Chain A
Amino acid sequence: MTAGGWLAIILAVGGVTLWVGWCFYKVFSTPDASRMTAEPTIDPPDARKSREQGERED
């Protein structure tokens, strides 16, 4: 491994690691990073519909 190789690996791996770290820091430092923007779909709509139909028939 030459000095140029070490420089390349440090710049590339270090730079990308800093970049991804900064991005996630920014994402997590905003208050609503893991905020639920929607009610989770408990089950697929058609399954729910057929279940509701079944319940009505019962």
Chain B
Amino acid sequence: MAKPEQWGSRLGVILAVAGSAVGLGNFLRFPGKAAQYGGAVFLIPYFISLLILGIPLMWAEWTLGRYGGKRGYNSSPGIFNVLGPKPYSKFFGVIGLIIPVVIYMYYVFIESWCLGYAWYFLNGKMASIGRDVGAYETFFSNYVGLKENGFALGMSPVMFFLVITFIVNFWVIYRGLSRGIELFCTYALPMLIVIGIIVVVRVLTLGTPDASHQDWNVSNGLGYLWNPPKNLLAALSNGDMWLEAAGQIFFSLSVGFGVVLNYASYLKKEDDVVLSGMTAASTNEFCEVCLGGLIAVTAAFVFLGPAGIEGKGTFGLGFNVLPCIFAHMPAGSFFGFLFFILLFLAAITSSLSMLQPAIAFLEEGLGLNRRASVSALGMFTALGSLFVVYFSEGFAALDTMDFWVGSVLIFIFATIIAVYFAWVLGIGKGWEEMHEGALMKVPRIFKFILRWVSPTYLLVIFVYWSWKNFPARLKSIADDKIIGLTVILLLITVAFVALLVSVAGRRWAQRKEDAP
């Protein structure tokens, strides 16, 4: 019988979980949101959310994952099968499978843009586009097929880089947990941080590159992001900002994705989860606040001024504004290459983590060997990615998947994790389980936070967020054929995965009966 997979070292699992958390959002979404909501004031709800939502839920997910792993289960349905007292418990785990797999389908597409942009900086093509952001917008639009469905399919450069990205992901996954994911993250994450520091140093030494705009300098660029508004209390009363800050923490730490649940299940029963979880979370925060918070907005400000940043979304900042900035900069091709390789590394360490939960399920739930499970998952995700690439007009398919799976399901799954930890397993048992093998003691206040504050806070922000977003989103399903089609595809995927979990459930029940 094949030896069960395990992590090679504590440092390895920390870097793998941190790699899963550090992604494009750290470098593009965080600075954009912080700048939008008045910089320093955004950090207040941001750090509060980190304390009462991000870190406690991270500990809960690590603990539940190791709990399932100790009982021989690595997949989300398997773990819920042993966590819950009822046979339907395993179906909660369906969400923990759907989320990473569906997010992978569109995330890998964005990841491939980073690789493509890095290559175009290296061969000088990006610098030759010009010095106007509009030219970069046109380039991006043509590159990804933003204006027309089906544009990017075929022998297009975006498909070429997508195929390469797919191959790299599945090659690493095929090598297994320790020799694949862990080995890759052990080199990729430190490399990412070193590259990030180099780019930060370059950005902070830009000075005042445009002599005709003396106020477009590094100090004012930092101030644009970090200066608190004059009326701090009025700014703090903005409900949307609290919602966005909680969302940023939530998505940034990868809690509620099903990934940490799966990764932690490969720990041994005496392995620490408290310090390891916190170290992974702090590494993510370092990349987000200390690197992401200093690069994109500051660089954009010193070359384009405030008008160049305002109203730009994550993609606008990352794939239109920043390439233009690097084209302006001395040795810009080199630094542009470094920045997009940084984004690519951040993205690939995340996308790898999205594949492993499904591989674990196919192996333990359906009895497939690694080759068969990697092939099956490869075909399934390739079909999903082709759907996203084909319906590229206005990113309709990508945006719909991101909303229903990358937001709604994550909220739901995080709530399930919080409830299972504090109420199904029970806070007493959960707390005891969390401290087994722990290298540090969690302050007792977190017992109260995990039981009452985190689930309530999650529920409140989910209700508020749904109230703000659902009406328009539901209307768009009826109004837009592509959005409707995407939602149908998601529903079929949920039904298909639920069916597979049902089959796996029979296998697990048999396993229980056969056990001595």
Give Cα distance in the complex from A48 to B220, angstroms. 59
A25 nearest CB neighbor, chain B only: B279
When distances are taken between beta carbons in the complex, the residues of chain A under 8 Å from B290 are 13, 16-17
- A46–B279 Cα distance when bound, in Å, is 34
- Chain B positions 248 through 280: 1 when the CB is less than 8 Å from some CB of chain A, otherwise 0: 000000000000000000001001000110110
B7 touches A37 (CB 8 A): yes
Contact stretch, chosen from B8-16, B118-126, B335-343, B419-427:
B8-16
Residues of A within 8 A of B286 (CB): 16-17, 20
Query: Are B283 and A20 in touch, CB under 8 angstroms?
Result: yes
Binds A, one of B172-180, B384-392, B446-454: B172-180
Q: Do residues A41 and B176 form an inter-chain contact, with CB atoms below 8 A?
A: yes
Query: Taking CB as reference atom, which chain A residue is nearest B228?
Result: A4
Known: A12-B289, A13-B290. A4 touches B227 (CB 8 A): yes
Instruction: For the complex formed, measure the closest distance between the CB of B40 and the CB atoms of chain A, giving whole angstroms.
Output: 3
List chain A residues, Cβ under 8 A from B8. Answer: 36-38, 40
CB-CB under 8 A from A39, the residues of chain B are 3
Pair A26/B439 contact, Cβ less than 8 Å:
yes
Once the chains bind, are A26 and B275 in contact (CB under 8 Å)? Answer: yes
| B219 near A1: Cβ-Cβ < 8 Å | yes
Tell me which residues across on chain B come within 8 A of A34, comparing CB atoms. Answer: 9-11
**Is residue B78 contacting chain A, with contact meaning CB distance below 8 A?**
no
Q: Is B195 an interface residue, CB under 8 A from the partner?
A: no
Q: Is the interface of A mostly helix, strand, loop or mixed?
A: helix
Cβ B10 vs Cβ A5 within 8 A:
no
* A32-B271 Cα distance, complex, nearest whole Å: 11
Q: How far is the CB of B372 from chain A (nearest CB, A)?
A: 8
- In the complex, A17→B283 CA distance in Å? 9
Q: B3 contacts which of A19, A36, A45 (Cβ < 8 Å)?
A: A45
Does B226 sit within 8 A of A, measured CB to CB?
yes
Distance, CA A44 to CA B178, complexed state (A): 10
- The answer to whether the Cβ of B222 comes within 8 Å of any Cβ in the partner chain is yes
| A interface bracket (residues with beta carbon within 8 Å of B) | 35 or more
Complex Cα distance, B227 from A56, in Å, reads: 71
Residues of B contacting A16 in the complex (Cβ-Cβ under 8 angstroms) = 282, 285-286, 289-290
A:3-19 near B, CB below 8 Å: 4-9, 12-13, 16-17, 19
Whether B209 sits at the interface, judged by CB under 8 Å, is no
B5 contacts chain A at the CB level, 8 A cutoff: yes
Is A37 within 8 A of B6, CB to CB?
yes
On whether the beta carbons of B5 and A41 are closer than 8 Å, the reply is yes
A53 at the interface (CB under 8 A from B): no
- When distances are taken between beta carbons in the complex, the residues of chain A under 8 Å from B278 are 23
Residues of B within 8 A of A23 (CB): 275, 278-279, 282-283
Residue of B nearest to A40 (CB): B178
Q: Is there contact, CB below 8 Å, between B289 and A41?
A: no
Q: Are B223 and A2 in contact (CB under 8 A)?
A: yes
Query: In chain B between 348 and 392, which residues have their CB closer than 8 angstroms to a CB of chain A?
Result: 369-372
- Is B206 an interface position by the 8 A CB rule? no
Asked if B293 lies at the interface with its beta carbon under 8 angstroms from chain A, I say: yes
Contact of A44 among B227, B268, B282, B371 (CB under 8 A): B371
- A1 to B174 Cα, complex, angstroms: 49
A2 to B293, CA, bound (A): 17
Q: Does B39 contact A (CB under 8 A)?
A: yes
CA distance A24 to B14 in the complex (A): 10
A48 to B176 CA separation, bound complex (whole angstroms)? 13
**Is there contact, CB below 8 Å, between B11 and A26?**
no
A50 CB to closest chain B CB (Å) equals 9
Which residues in A have their C-beta under 8 angstroms from that of B223? 1-2, 5
Complex Cα spacing A45 to B4, Å: 10
| Residue among B3, B7, B268, B371 making CB contact with A47, cutoff 8 Å | B371
Q: Residue B2 at the A interface, CB < 8 A? A: yes
Tell me the complex Cα distance, A34–B12, Å: 8
Q: Which of B11, B39, B175 contacts A27 (CB 8 A)?
A: B11
Task: Kindly provide the distance from the CB of A32 to the nearest chain B CB, expressed in whole angstroms.
Answer: 7
Please report the C-alpha to C-alpha distance between residue A47 and residue B370 in the assembled complex, in whole angstroms: 9
Compute how far the CA of A36 lies from the CA of B9 in the bound complex, rounded to whole angstroms.
5
B135 sits at the interface (CB 8 A): no
Contact of B9 among A7, A13, A26, A37 (CB under 8 A): A37
- The answer, among A1, A32, A35, for a CB contact under 8 Å with B220, is A1
Any chain A CB within 8 A of the CB of B43?
A: yes
Q: Interface centre among B11, B271, B276, by most A CB within 10 Å? A: B11
Q: Which of A5, A47, A49 has the most CB of B within 10 A?
A: A5
Contact between chains at A38 and B7 (CB < 8 Å): yes
Q: Judging by beta carbons under 8 Å apart, are A1 and B227 in contact? A: yes
A-B contact pairs, 27 of them (CB 8 A): A1-B220, A1-B227, A2-B223, A2-B227, A5-B39, A5-B222, A5-B223, A8-B39, A8-B227, A12-B40, A12-B293, A13-B290, A16-B285, A19-B285, A20-B286, A26-B275, A27-B275, A30-B439, A33-B10, A36-B8, A38-B7, A38-B8, A40-B8, A40-B178, A41-B5, A43-B176, A43-B179
Given contacts A1-B222, A35-B10, A41-B5, 17 further A-B contacts (CB under 8 A): A1-B220, A1-B226, A2-B223, A4-B40, A5-B228, A8-B43, A12-B47, A19-B282, A23-B282, A24-B279, A26-B275, A27-B276, A38-B7, A41-B178, A45-B3, A46-B370, A46-B371
